[in-house]
Amino acid sequence: MRSTFCRITLGLWIVTMAVAGWFFVRGWTMPGTDGRTQIVLAPAERDMILGEMRMLLKAVHGVVTGLTSQDQAADRTQIEQAARSAGMGMAADVNPALMAKLPLPFKQMGMSIHKDMDALADAVVQKETPQQILQRLSSMTARCTTCHDLYRFGVDK
């Protein structure tokens, strides 16, 4: 009797982990009407993700603006602050339930952008040239456009 109970418990645990793993990788998605994958979120979750994307865009703008000026010391500080504002600290307090709804490639691209913004801020402190900083930024924005080409947000009704 005990052996049967243990097998049933183990079987249920394995099924539960498999389903959780499947959702962790796939997220809450469905085919979109425009060929992209639609990530289905509650309205507040969608607003939060889009707000984060706007903050990332503002950080990119801050970096580019800083690179166009002539006052190198002040501009380096501006560039570092702009990049750091979109680093891993920005992603530190994301709701785990929301993260579970996002497909794995989306999460990977997003986290890599945050890590790279911190690395860009460090590169500014280490006095990399504007050309090197732009190269880093170009690599990041390529991932942004890839993500926007692959995904869209839908609202869970």
pLDDT in tens, 96-152: 888 899 999 999 999 999 999 999 999 999 999 999 999 999 999 999 999 999 999
The three-class DSSP label of residue 31 is strand
pLDDT at residue 20 is higher than 90: no
Q: What is the DSSP letter of 86?
A: T
Among residues 88, 72, 143, 144, the alpha carbon closest in space to that of 121 is found at 88
The three-class DSSP label of residue 102 is coil
Residues 38/153, Cβ–Cβ less than 8 Å: yes
pTM: 0.81
Instruction: List phi, psi (to 5°) of 41.
Output: -130, 160
Distance CA 39, CA 147 (A): 12
The helix (H) or strand (E) run that includes residue 131 is helix 130-150
Which one of 2.60.40, 1.20.120, 1.10.3470, 3.10.50 gives the CATH number of domain 28-155?
1.20.120
